[in-house]
Structure 1
Amino acid sequence: MENKTLEHTLQEAPLWLNNFVTVYQKLTKDNLKLLATIYHEKVTFIDPLHTVEGFENLYQYFQNLYQNLSACEFIIEDVIWQDSQASLFWTMTYQHPKLNKGQTVTVVGTSHIKGEDDKVIYHRDYLDLGAMLYEQLPILGKLTKWIKTNAAN
């Protein structure tokens, strides 16, 4: 089986997928306007915390998410696509002054996206919410880590 690089995979990918990967890898709180170039007006966005319907609501959600972040970066490591849908495998690194004592947090996740009219109309993120949020809080973090450690015993 041939091992294709991400760049090679994207050369063959549809416009909506190429645009999505490009924008996410350079997205910051200062360029959130780029979201309008990749998301459909009727987008459905789902993550472990929320379900958001429509672009305006999604834009507001992203503004709220990015508002208090010191930094946030997505590295998309692999993409599998067929027709109008794709799975993306990524690593997110972020900093928030109130989480993990302001230190960098790294979370691995995957997204299922669907394209329509050269934009993403469906986006669902799968990630470990404990690693992203709960483990980064002072008291809840210790409890969450203890539960994870002892769950298999």
Structure 2
Amino acid sequence: MDTRLATARLAEYFEKLTPDSVAQLPDLYDGQARFKDPFNEVQGLAEIERIFRHMYVALDGPHFVITGQLVDGAQAFLTWEFRFRFKRFDTQTLQVVRGGSHIVFNEQGMVTLHRDYWDAAEELYEKLPVVGGVMRWLKKRANT
């Protein structure tokens, strides 16, 4: 298995992800793959697909921009920007969440673990009405 090739293929997939291409996850992910982010922890393709499909229901124009790739053995780390617009709050402002994904591949080059790391407080909650004000106040208090 060529991890660099598998990583590049996965990065390209996420940069071109659409509601229709979510169905192509089985081409990249093992059937029992695990996925974890600040809001979800699931196992299996059906659950991973559900999370990515929901992204298109909950947000306007969600898409990923891969900003870096590190490969070591059978694992990789992708840095990315997730860009979208809220459907219910500030619908005009392009939002950007910066984060990274730890990816582990099996011997066939299929993803067995996908774990996203990003700061939900800074990257999301602070941008929401009401909650954002509270989060910024808490952050300020914690830093004084």
TM (normalized to structure 1)?
Answer: 0.84
2:125 is the alignment partner of 1:130: no
CA distance in 2, matches of 1:67, 1:132: 20
Offset of 1:58 from its aligned partner? 0.8
Please point out which of 126, 148, 151 is paired with 2:139: 148
The farther-off stretch of 12-21 and 113-122 is 12-21
Please point out which of 25, 34, 54 is paired with 2:24: 34
2:85 is the alignment partner of 1:95: yes
TM (normalized to structure 2)?
Answer: 0.89
**Root mean square deviation of aligned Cα:** 1.6
Please point out which of 37, 47, 71 is paired with 1:57: 47
1:49-69 alpha-carbon deviations (Å, 9 max, x no partner): 110100111111211222132
CA distance in 1, matches of 2:67, 2:128: 28
What secondary structure is seen at the aligned counterpart in 2 of 1:14?
Answer: helix
Offset of 1:129 from its aligned partner? 0.5
CA distance in 2, matches of 1:79, 1:47: 19
The farther-off stretch of 76-85 and 62-71 is 62-71
Which residue of 2 is the match for residue 7 of structure 1? none
CA distance in 2, matches of 1:132, 1:18: 26
Contact 2:77/2:101 (CA < 8 Å) preserved in 1? yes
Contact 1:134/1:144 (CA < 8 Å) preserved in 2? yes
Contact 1:44/1:123 (CA < 8 Å) preserved in 2? yes
1:103-148 alpha-carbon deviations (Å, 9 max, x no partner): 2111110110001122111000000102343123211111111212
1:71-119 alpha-carbon deviations (Å, 9 max, x no partner): 11211111111110011111111112124x1121111101100011221
Offset of 1:14 from its aligned partner? 3.5
CA distance in 1, matches of 2:6, 2:56: 23
User: Which 5+ residue runs of structure 2 have no aligned equivalent?
Assistant: none
Please point out which of 5, 8, 15 is paired with 2:5: 15
Contact 1:29/1:67 (CA < 8 Å) preserved in 2? no
- List 4+ stretches of structure 1 deviating above 6 A: none
> How many equivalent residue pairs?
141
Please point out which of 106, 120, 123 is paired with 2:111: 120
User: Which 5+ residue runs of structure 1 have no aligned equivalent?
Assistant: 1-11
CA distance in 1, matches of 2:20, 2:58: 12
CA distance in 2, matches of 1:112, 1:143: 31
